[in-house]
Chain A
Amino acid sequence: MLFNSIQFGFFFVIVTTLYFVLPHKYRWALLLAASCYFYMAFVPVYILILGFTIVVDYFAGIFIENRQGRKRKKFLIASLIANIGVLAVFKYYNFLDHNLTALLGSFRLENPIPYLNIILPIGLSFHTFQAMSYTIEVYRGHQKAERNFGIYALYVMFYPQLVAGPIERPQNLIHQFYEKHHFDPHRAIDGLKLMLWGLFKKIIIADTCATYVNDIFSNYQNLSGSVLLLGVVYFAFQVYGDFSGYSDMAIGAARVMGFNLMRNFNYPFFSRDVAELWRRWHISLSTWFRDYFYYPLGGSKGNKLFVIRNILIIFTVSGLWHGANWNYVIWGFLNGVWFIPLFLLGINRKNIEIVAQDRFLPNIKEIMQMSYTFLLFSLALIFFRSPSIEDSFVYSKILFSGSFFTIPASQFLGVIPLLVLFNMIEWFSRKKEHALVINHFPVALRWSTYILVGFVIILAFDKNPNAFIYFQF
């Protein structure tokens, strides 16, 4: 069930209404049942995989809390192995098998390990990482083991963020299931506005860009470098609209019911360097890797070579997290490479606050910095979008050929006014949570904006909606 479908509209209204109608003690059960239904609407049988990790981590949490010393670590490791094992089987097995076949093939040997004919469970990497953060936090003593199995299951399965995040921490989410939420009209309206804006980003920005991107990437060998540059720029907006739109809808849906989910995007395209961009892009994953992988690896405590190693490992593994494909690995590695000069120059934490904090417009230097950062990010996305490494290299080669300096044909320029408008809206909203926080506008203008956004969404609405890119991860 996609957020941008009519079914979800009905589902959301029914679940939210029942949530506030039911007595508090039954609400978690309602949310759990709704989350199961939501997940099973994709591929029902995969709920068994989710069930397996939930059972393992639930008991692992209790055992970790009840034990002392090295035994605690053993249960943590068992839990991590179970979670990573599920990922390994369902996400990485065929990738490894395929590479083994290629490796053995180069020695004219046959690979005896069979290929598994399985479909990747939807959102597997998201809920597995969320489950892992629970046992790690219990192990670290930051979170008490949850005794109510239903509440724990709900922590992993909470439907707004089940299939594409934000990847929540137990400290932020579990206690909220115990809190009694009263219906708050202001909060509900704020949540609905956030959902509306998320839907706008998905349906208007991402899906519009997708038609251009699909056309350009499927026909790139016959197009000029300038058009290919537009292709990666459009894809950057597509991914942003798609994923941040999903996150907005998830956070908004949860907020209507009274839950606060963590922010996942914070205007990443207004970053002045790559480090800032990664602090603003997919924040729940970046911080997950930082807390549970980068710091345990040694983080920034060591000589420069050691830290560079850690940076490259983190970015490369985060690339692999996205997909079992060398393209994603290279994409992650490239982003690590973009990051290193900032670290070497000691400026990777230079830009913390939002750009032009006290000004209306950015200065020339900031415009150059933002453009450069956006371009670096977009160029790496060639590997993210292309079907193979070979395609990525050929795409890059054509992009940087002499035809880069030609004027793109007008048929590829149609989406530019929309993106300019979108960027302007985002720019003027950059100090707020989202673009529809316009309470300072006169009533007529405010209402006109909401109505216009709703109207364009209805116009662009497709009864066969496009899936979200990040569902596949």
Chain B
Amino acid sequence: MKPFFLKILLYLILVSGLVLLYILLIYIRPDLVDAYYYRFTTEKSNSLILGGSRAAQGIKPEVINRMICNDDNKIINHSFALGASSYGPNYLKEITKKLKKESTDGLFIVSVVPWSLATDIANVTDDSTKFFEVEQKVFVGNLESSSTNPNFDYLINHWTNKFEPITRIFKLLTNLGGISVLHEDGWLEITTAMDTASNNERIRRSTLEYKDKELKLSDTRFLYLDKIIRYLDDYGEIVLVRMPVSSQMAKIEMEHFPDFDQRIQHIASKYNLPYFDFIKESGKFLTIDTHHLFKEESERFTNMLCDSILSYSKSESSSGKLATVK
């Protein structure tokens, strides 16, 4: 009997040891966890890039830090995805957790996308009370802390694929298949399989997914965008950005949301914010699936965005705004 229990005990100790080693690996390399986790392990910041997956992949903090922000005020990308960081109560909560509230000279790049400011016509009758991210208890806004390493709340309650680090290490070692690398500054670098079948499949899925969506712009989501702007206004300067997409996606968005730009313009005027609308540049940037920029294009786009911000800060219309930047 005794050897049996000793064997079982030894087995449990060894398995637990391996699990602890795995946690240690995650502690050392949080980027291996998935496409979101690293952002919840880094320190709070004065300056944030906000939005969904387009911003996560398409706006590089490194470029902005080089061209605009000074060393004491580095910007990080805290954008996630449509299903996690649509403008709503959760994202507002998340922003309050990630923002270092010690200065008033931050820079906030708020990426606006119609899909993340819209609501499902078929499923939601009263969009003033229903937020899918609240009902689904998504991780954004729901973690005890957004700047802890290791972040056990995320790892235990929200990590869906715990084999991801093994897959990532395998892919990094063999250079096989597409991979996403989340950088410390929050930029999500996607290297994807570019075979024709995969590319066509992504484009086909994306076009199908968005073309037939029955959405309308949501007053409540706009209200939360408004709340977020008002909240951030105390801590620095805000710029609104609409990123370029493929010409097909631009057309779909125009058909679904013809008055979107007008509404954003209205908010920009209300708070005297610059609104950089790059949707007219759609088709001039390569995308991986009609709306996420290729990683090389992210650099080009962020440069263009920085130029726009810098020209604005020097213009008369800025009336001294964005003066805090480099």
Contacts and interface: CB of A to CB of B under 8 A. Distances in A.
B201 A411 contact: yes
Interface string A147-189: 0000000000000000000000000000000000001010011
A454 interface: yes
A447 interface: yes
Contact of A458 (B15, B178, B193): B15
Interface in B18-44: 18-19, 22
A455 B15 CA distance: 6
Contacts of A183: 1
B263 interface: no
A450 interface: yes
Main secondary structure on B side of the interface with A: helix
Interface residues of A, number: 21
Nearest to A408: B197
B210 interface: no
Contacts, number: 50
Contacts of B14: 447, 451
B4 A409 contact: no
A459 B162 contact: yes
Contact of A410 (B11, B19, B163, B197): B197
Contacts of B200: 409
Nearest to B166: A459
A450 B18 CA distance: 12
B200 to A, nearest CB: 8
B198 A460 contact: no
A407 interface: yes
Nearest to A406: B197
A192 B18 CA distance: 20
Contacts of B122: none
A408 to B, nearest CB: 7
Interface residues of B, number: 25
A451 B18 contact: yes
A411 B15 contact: no
A207 B32 CA distance: 22
B163 A460 contact: yes
A410 B195 contact: yes
B7 interface: yes
B173 interface: no
Interface string A441-473: 000000100110011101110000000000000
A19 to B, nearest CB: 14
A189 B163 contact: no
A222 interface: yes
Given A450-B11, A459-B163, A409 B1 contact: no
A411 B11 contact: no
A138 to B, nearest CB: 39
Contacts of A450: 11
Contacts of B18: 451, 455
Nearest to B16: A458
B22 A451 contact: no
Which one of B1, B11, B193, B204 has the greatest number of beta carbons of chain A within 10 Å?
B11
A410 B7 contact: no
B320 interface: no
Contacts of B3: 185
A407 B202 CA distance: 14
Contacts of B19: 455, 458-459
Interface string A216-233: 000000100000000000
Contacts of B201: 409, 411
A411 B162 contact: no
Given A189-B4, A459-B162, A460-B162, A407 B208 contact: no
Interface in A63-83: none
B177 interface: yes
A408 B19 CA distance: 35
Given A407-B197, A409-B201, A222 B162 contact: no
B203 to A, nearest CB: 11
B287 to A, nearest CB: 17
Contacts of B22: 455, 459
Interface in A95-143: none
A24 B177 CA distance: 59
Interface string B196-220: 0110111011001000000000000
Nearest to B208: A222
Given A447-B14, A454-B11, A460-B163, A410 B1 contact: no
B15 A409 contact: no
A451 B178 contact: no
Interface string B153-191: 000000000110000000000000110000000000000
Nearest to A462: B160
B211 to A, nearest CB: 12
A411 B192 CA distance: 11
A411 B208 CA distance: 17
Nearest to A20: B1
A188 B11 CA distance: 14
B162 A410 contact: no
12 contacts: A185-B4, A406-B197, A409-B197, A409-B198, A409-B201, A410-B178, A447-B11, A454-B15, A455-B18, A455-B19, A455-B22, A459-B163
Interface of A: 183, 185, 188-189, 192, 222, 406-411, 447, 450-451, 454-456, 458-460
Given A185-B3, A410-B177, A455-B15, 10 more contacts: A188-B4, A222-B208, A406-B197, A408-B197, A410-B178, A411-B198, A447-B14, A450-B11, A455-B22, A459-B22
